């Protein structure tokens, strides 16, 4: 199969899955699947030969950092790791100046930030593609890997019922966008006061997203094909830890919850897991869990993104 490269993605930023058309969303998944197949078959296409990305991290990361780095290497390119400690952006020099330096050297920038505005400011000034490696608002690359996993697991995406049980956070927001493109039904179970952003919901619903908010997490899981959770205390929310632990006290997923799922239902988590909070270790290591498939697919999803944005068309 040829790579489903689309000229419309070449040179673009990837800050939000909402910025994509549904065709572009599927093209990213299909490119990733094809690159995964080729790698498994021993094919080593050097699609990003001589290309370089900078990776900027304001927060910690295992999966995002490793998989972008490895994806660049396996496709013949190179990555440069920059942490806030190294560059001190916004302190040592402005984000605008960082952008105008990096764009002279690299072919793309992947950044993980606290404020989403930091990413949009970077993207506004940088002439090369900027990829969101997680902000407080969104985590688009995670959901690409997750829907890649669902495509492999179920074959099709448009008849799935996905239950996201937890905080209406960055991962939840990208769930809304991914379900919108995939045509999946999304149930979000969260305590009052922890709902996803109304603007994200309204915009996705106006594009046909089928998203409902429920207050009973066990009811959200009932009959679902996917039970998905994420941490209650995201990076940067440590001071709210106790209030959050109390609010989410009924939200700890154990394998007993899996009996509520459809016969084919799977458990997902983007990791890292805070065991004893959003789920137990038994849930992650259960036979219904596809958590480490998701982690594996971060690599292939990043390849799809990098090839489309840096070499597409």
Considering the rule CB under 6 A, would residue 149 count as an interface residue with ligand CP? Answer: no
Least distance (Å) from ligand NVA to the CB of residue 172?
A: 8
Report the nearest approach of ligand CP to the CB of residue 142 (Å): 5
Contact between residue 308 and residue 25 where contact means Cβ atoms under 8 Å apart: no
Tell how far CA 202 is from the center of its chain. 20
Query: Taking a C-beta distance cutoff of 8 angstroms, is the pair 202, 178 a contact?
Result: no
- How many other C-beta atoms are found inside a 10 Å radius of the C-beta of residue 239? 8
Q: Are 244 and 193 in contact (CB under 8 A)?
A: no
Q: Does 134 bind ligand CP (CB under 6 A)?
A: yes
Q: How far apart are CA 28 and CA 106, in angstroms?
A: 22
Count CB atoms within 10 A of the CB of residue 120.
Answer: 18
Output the smallest distance, CB 270 to ligand CP, in A. Answer: 4
**Binding segment toward ligand CP, per CB under 6 A, in 36-44, 61-69, 146-154, 273-281:** 61-69
> Which of ligand CP, ligand NVA, none lies near 231, with the C-beta cut-off 5 to 8 A by kind?
ligand NVA
Closest of 293, 310, 313 to residue 33, by C-alpha: 293
Chosen residue from 74, 79, 169, 229 binding ligand NVA by CB under 6 A: 169
**Cβ proximity of 310 and 129 under 8 Å:** yes
Closer by beta carbon to ligand NVA, 57 or else 307: 57
Nearer to ligand NVA, 143 or 310 (CB): 143
3-state secondary structure of 188: strand
Residue 177 engages ligand CP in binding (rule: CB under 6 A): no
Q: Between residue 81 and residue 100, which ones bind ligand NVA under the rule CB under 6 A?
A: none
Q: Which is nearer to ligand CP, 214 or 271 (CB)?
A: 271
Stated as kind and residue range, the H or E segment containing 161 is: strand 161-165
Question: Which residues contribute to the site for ligand CP (CB under 6 A)?
Answer: 61-64, 134, 142, 270-271
Question: Which residues contribute to the site for ligand NVA (CB under 6 A)?
Answer: 134, 169-171, 230-231, 234-235, 270
């Amino acid at each position: 199969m040829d790579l489903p490269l689309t000229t419309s993605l070449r040179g673009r930023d990837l800050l939000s899955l909402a910025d994509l058309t549904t065709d572009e969303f599927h093209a990213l998944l299909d490119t990733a699947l094809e690159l995964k197949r080729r790698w498994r078959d021993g094919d080593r296409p050097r699609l990003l030969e001589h290309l370089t990305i900078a990776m900027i991290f304001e927060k910690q990361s295992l999966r995002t950092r490793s998989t972008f780095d490895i994806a660049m290497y396996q496709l013949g390119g190179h990555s440069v790791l920059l942490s806030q400690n190294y560059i001190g952006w916004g302190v040592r020099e402005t984000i605008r100046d960082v952008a105008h330096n990096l764009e002279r050297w690299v072919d793309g920038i992947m950044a993980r930030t606290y404020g989403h505005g930091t990413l949009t400011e970077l993207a506004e000034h940088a002439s090369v593609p900027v990829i969101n490696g997680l902000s407080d608002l969104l985590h688009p690359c995670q959901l690409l890997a997750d829907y890649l996993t669902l495509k492999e697991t179920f074959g099709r995406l448009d008849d799935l019922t996905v239950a996201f049980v937890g905080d209406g956070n960055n991962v939840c927001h990208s769930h809304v966008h991914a379900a919108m493109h995939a045509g999946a039904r999304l149930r979000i179970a969260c305590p009052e006061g922890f709902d996803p952003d109304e603007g994200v919901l309204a915009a996705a619903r106006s594009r046909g997203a089928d998203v409902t908010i429920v207050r009973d997490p066990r009811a959200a899981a009932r009959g679902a094909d996917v039970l998905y959770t994420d941490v209650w205390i995201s990076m940067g929310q440590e001071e709210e830890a106790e209030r959050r632990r109390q609010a989410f006290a009924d939200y700890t997923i154990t394998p007993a919850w899996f009996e509520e799922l459809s016969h084919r239902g799977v458990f997902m988590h983007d990791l890292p897991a805070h065991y004893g909070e959003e789920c137990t270790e038994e849930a992650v290591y259960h036979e219904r869990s596809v958590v480490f498939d998701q982690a594996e697919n971060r690599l292939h999803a990043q390849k799809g993104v990098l090839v489309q944005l840096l070499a597409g068309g």
